[in-house]
A = this chain, B = another copy of it.
Amino acid sequence: MSQKRVNKVVLAYSGGLDTSIILKWLQTTYGCEVVTFTADLGQGEELEPARKKAQLLGIKDENIFIEDLREEFVRDYVFPMFRANAQYEGLYLLGTSIARPLIAKKQIEIAERLGADAVSHGATGKGNDQVRFELSYYALKPDVTVIAPWREWDLRSREQLIAFAEQHQIPIAKDKRGEAPFSIDANLLHCSSEGKVLEDPAAEVPDYVFSRTVSPEEAPDRPTTITIGFERGDAVSIDGEAMSPATILTRLNALGRENGIGRLDLVENRFVGMKSRGMYETPGGTILLLAHRAIESITLDRGAAHLKDELMPRYAELIYNGFWFSPERELLQGLIDKSQDFVTGEVRLKLYKGAAHIVGRTSPYSLYDQDLVTFEEGAVAYDHRDAAGFIKLNALRLRTLAQRKRKMGL
């Protein structure tokens, strides 16, 4: 593959060994200026070491960008997605998928500001993340040059990578010399693990893989009860205390962690065509999804709720596949956001040894009308004789069909 000429590239830089190798490889291969972008999305790592590492690798101070994106991440990406009750393939809460568009957006913003003509990321050539990064890049800056080192270079093994690092004086932590037993992606919403020891879908995930949750067995012997407050579909408080989006998710993560909630062992279908097995820990998100469904259950009309349910698999697939910045995702988002106008109220949950359970829900906008359910005359009268006509007309076409069958002797 012939290389395009590139002047300046904005690299999604974690400060770790792999993206440090990429940094150096970009410099040596493209002979271009490298700009590093390091984001705090709640992955739980210090960012300052990334600055030092970048400096050490020769990046000028004005080319080092470090940003705390936690609030933006939860407010503008995680929460909008949870308004949809999005679950990919019925179960996955899309923790990795939802972070990529934001990182890509920030890279493009920096590229525009600095006049950089290229962007680069550390995602491998077999995964979904390369797609998510690059679709976002292209959607935001159609003429950008994308450099995907893992697809381009000829470093074919861990040994070659280490050799390249040594050759370029990249510091190598002791535990990074060998191959990691699995690879990790983490942010405020979740931590995912995949590869190596997880590759046999028949084999149980070893204990040391988990980092965000205690095991259900080790969780407390007594349930924890909490109340989550919602406004227009978003969580806004816990136990009556108002909090920012990132603070709420952080707090729910802590609650989930302690109670062993949010582990998911999944074989999923990647956009690039193969199946893969992952272990996800989404402690706060797992609680949040359940609570969000509960507050919707009393505030959302059936028509709106069912429409949302039918559109959800497609919406989740769009995010999983990397189409966050696409017209169809944005159109669906508009519909979903609009549906949340009255999704306001409180949900009480019990957290206990690996699961969350709904205990109660209230809302000033509740559509649950006790008078309708009981026999007493309600504000909107329900006349049970109406049910006869309702059933008769719903049955009409079925009766006509049955008559046809009969006529045909079937």
Query: How far does the alpha carbon of A355 sit from the alpha carbon of B399 in the complex, in Å?
Result: 37
A204 at the interface (CB under 8 A from B): yes
A134 at the interface (CB under 8 A from B): yes
Question: Could you say which of A126, A201, A317 has the most chain B C-beta atoms within 10 Å of its C-beta?
Answer: A201
Contact A391 B126 (CB under 8 A): no
A174 at the interface (CB under 8 A from B): no
Set of chain B residues within 8 Å of A310, measured between Cβ atoms = 310, 313-314
Contact A385 B380 (CB under 8 A): no
A37 at the interface (CB under 8 A from B): no
Contact A302 B365 (CB under 8 A): no
Contact B339 A400 (CB under 8 A): no
Query: How far does the alpha carbon of A382 sit from the alpha carbon of B396 in the complex, in Å?
Result: 8
Set of chain B residues within 8 Å of A204, measured between Cβ atoms = 348, 359-360
Set of chain B residues within 8 Å of A352, measured between Cβ atoms = 216-217, 353-354
Set of chain B residues within 8 Å of A374, measured between Cβ atoms = 195, 199
Minimal Cβ-Cβ distance residue in B for A386: B389
Question: Could you say which of A135, A143, A146, A331 has the most chain B C-beta atoms within 10 Å of its C-beta?
Answer: A331
**Interface size band for A:** 35 or more
A28 at the interface (CB under 8 A from B): no
Contact B141 A402 (CB under 8 A): yes
Partner among B125, B267, B398 whose Cβ is within 8 Å of the Cβ of A387? B125
Encoded as 1 (CB less than 8 Å from any B CB) or 0, chain A from 369 to 403 comes to 11011110001101111111111111111111111
Query: How far does the alpha carbon of A401 sit from the alpha carbon of B135 in the complex, in Å?
Result: 12
Contact B125 A385 (CB under 8 A): yes
A297 at the interface (CB under 8 A from B): yes
Minimal Cβ-Cβ distance residue in B for A222: B217
A399 with B385, Cβ < 8 A, contacts A355-B355, A390-B392 known: no
A148 at the interface (CB under 8 A from B): yes
CB contacts under 8 Å to B, within A119-147, are: 124-126, 130-131, 134-135, 138-143, 146
- Residues of A participating in the B interface, judged by any CB pair closer than 8 Å: 1, 85, 89-91, 124-126, 130-131, 134-135, 138-143, 146, 148, 150-151, 156, 195, 199-205, 216-217, 221-223, 263, 265-269, 272-277, 293-294, 297-298, 301-307, 309-310, 312-314, 317, 322-323, 325-328, 330-332, 334-335, 338-339, 342, 348, 352-355, 357-362, 365-370, 372-375, 379-380, 382-404, 406, 408
Q: Can you sample 11 A-B contacts with CB below 8 Å?
A: A89-B306, A89-B309, A124-B384, A151-B384, A199-B370, A202-B360, A204-B360, A275-B369, A307-B332, A385-B389, A386-B390
- List 9 A-B pairs, minimum CB-CB distance, nearest first: A389-B389, A125-B384, A273-B396, A386-B389, A269-B302, A142-B399, A303-B328, A138-B395, A355-B355
